[in-house]
Structure formats: structure tokens, C-alpha cells
Amino acid sequence: MTNETLIAVPVFVFMGVMLERSRLADELLQSLAQLLHRVPGGLGLAVMVVGALMAASTGIVGATVVTMGLLSLPTMLRHGYKDSVATGSICAAGTLGQIIPPSIVLILLADVLSNAYQQAQLRLGIFSPETVSVGDLFAGALLPGLLLVLLYMLYLMLSAWLRPAAMPAVKAANDSEVSLLRLLGLIAGPLFLIVAVLGSILYGIATPTEAASVGAVGAMVLAALRGHFSVPTLRASVYQSAKVSAMVFMILIGASLFSLVFRGYGGDEQVEALLAGLPGGVTTAMVLVMLALFLLGFILDFIEITYIVVPVVGPALLALGVDPVWLGIMIAVNLQTSFLTPPFGFSLFYLRGVTPPEVPTTALYRGVIPFILIQLFMLLLLSLWPVLVTWLPDRLYG
């Protein structure tokens, strides 16, 4: 209750749940699918665009995956999409909320990295330490998040060109085109929320918690305008937000106790000495940590990794001179794979719950492999060109 950054978490969760209950994604998906029905792979592209819009509006992976699974998966299968392509596209689109701001992952990472960065500076004799803010990570994640959406869409278009039978163009039952005015009207609401929330944070007009409150009120207004706001809806949204927030903060408390004991016995100093003593210096240390985070993503949730592993390796890497914002985004993209990697990928579980019985679980696993490889390629791009992360924060905050 005394950490202003973490107060933003339940408010952003409420904002996402309320938007999901406004059924905005339903109509957006239907309109875009109708607009792109003649394009090979058009349904997959529509899923990806809506996933990106909902990610930038909500940041709630479970709600996005389940919503798009219920809406788009039966349609994609009915029109001849290969089951692995359809399920992989939905899972990948649903996880975009982990890297595109406002992301719950980035808020939690900002809190952890800020503490780690201050510890690293104190060890280096800097007694007026700088901090890492949520706005820094939001700004750093914006370009990589958009680039990841672009890479996903390029993969879908290439797949549709190389394998047209797996992603056929949809022949609409009637040739009535979707109204452009209606489509713009549907997009206007999420875009307004994105500009209001992200714009106020990036330009320093509001703190993340204040911006989250604006977003929560905006989500309620959108739900009311669309006729989906009522006392039962509000009660259900608050209850769901409380459940998600309780899960997050229980993990936080347990992980904080673990980190306290670990540091009390000098574990952090041993990790720092180990990483600093590796041949190849900071490059080897970063590769080793990224590999460890990727492998842990197969068996652990992103929250557990954030609050257990990052406090251990973060101060050591930052003491070696790694840029904190770049490190945060590298970790965020890496953690995003934890939602897709079997056997415990949360997106796979969410989608399996709404997938028809005739679609085997192995199809979900096959479908996400190309998107996992794209995320690993994204990590390679960010490691070769850190400016993709640091350019916007430097321009905004110097």
C-alpha cells in the first residue's frame, strides 16, 4: 500500500477486465475479418491487429487469448485454416500485452529493476543513485513491441504466400463491405485510451498510477457507451481484478522473503562475483542470464521469474555497466516466451480451455514454435542494436 508504482497493477487489471467485458474485441475482430476476407491469411492478420490493440489497451493476456479463441478459432477452422496456424496466431497475439505498454510485466519489472539499480550503484560508491521508472520501460518497450507485431504479421503473410492451403482467403457469404466509418468508430475508443494512458505517462503529465486511474474510468465510459456497463458487470470486474491482484501480490510477498534471505546470506555477492569472473565479461554474463531466463520460462510463471530471479542477477549485471532500461526490455521480451513455451505456457492453457476437442494439444505446441523463434530473433536484434530500446527514452527524458 505504500508503493505507489505497484498500486497501478490492480487498477490496470481492472481496466483490462472492464474493456474485455465491453465486448469491444468481438466487434473489432468481426469488422477486420470482414475487411480482409479476400486477403490470403486475412483472418490471421485481423487476429494480430486486434491482439495488438487490446494489448495496448488492457495488457491482460488471459482475457485476450480466451476472447479471441472463442471468437476467431471456430471461424478460422471453418474456413480451412490449419489448426496449428490458427492456434499459434491466437496464442502469439494474446501475449503481446506483455511487451506493449501498458504492461503489467513492465510495471513489476520497473519496481524490481529500480531496487536492483540502486543496489548496484551503492556498491559502486554512488550514494545519490538514479532510479528506473515505469515511464522509462514503457518508452523503451514501445518500438520493440511494434516491431514484434510487424514481424508476426510478416510471418503470417509469408506463410499465406508459401502455404495458401494452410491459410486460405475467406469467401464471404455476401459481398457487403464493412463500413469504414464503423471500423474507425470501433478503433477510436481503444486509441483514445492508449493516447490518454501512455501519452500522459511518457510525457510526464501523470504517474503510472494516475494514468491507470484515467484508463479505468475511460474503460467504464466505453463499456457504458456500448451498453455493457451495469452494477453486476462492475461487481464481476472488481471481483476478477481482486483475484488477479491477490495472486500477483502473494507471489510478490513470498519472493521478497526469498530475496531477503538470499541477500542476507551473501548470495547476491556470490552471483556478482560469478558473473564478473566469467570469460568474455558482460557479454558472456548477459548470454548466460538470458539463456537461464528462457529455460526457466518452460516451468515458471513470469511473475515468479521477475520476483525471484531478477533480484538475484539484476544488481550483478547492472554493476557490470549494463543499461537498466535495455536490460529490462531484454528480460521482458524473454519472459514473454514463458507464455508460449510448453509444457506450462499460460497462453497454451488459456486457449486449450476453449479449443474444440478435435484440435489436439500437439497442434497448439506446433503452432507457437514459429512465434517463439521470432521472439528469440527479436532478442538477437535488441542485443545487436540496443538503440531500438534506448532511442525513445533518450529523446523523451534525455
168: left (phi over 0), alpha (psi -120 to 50) or beta: beta
CB distance 50 to 93 below 8 Å? yes
Residue 380's pLDDT is what?
94
Report pTM.
Answer: 0.83
Q: Determine the straight-line distance between the first and last CA of the chain, rounded to whole angstroms.
A: 31
Cell of 18: 472492464
Contact between residue 303 and residue 251 where contact means Cβ atoms under 8 Å apart: yes
19 vs 57: CA distance, rounded Å? 8
pLDDT (0 to 100) of residue 303: 78
- What are the mean pLDDT values of the chain's consecutive 10-residue runs (398 residues total)? 78 81 74 75 84 72 73 81 89 86 84 84 75 87 92 92 81 57 76 82 82 86 83 89 82 77 77 74 86 84 80 84 90 87 79 83 90 93 93 85
pLDDT for the residue numbered 175: 47
Q: Residue 94 is placed in which grid cell?
A: 494474446
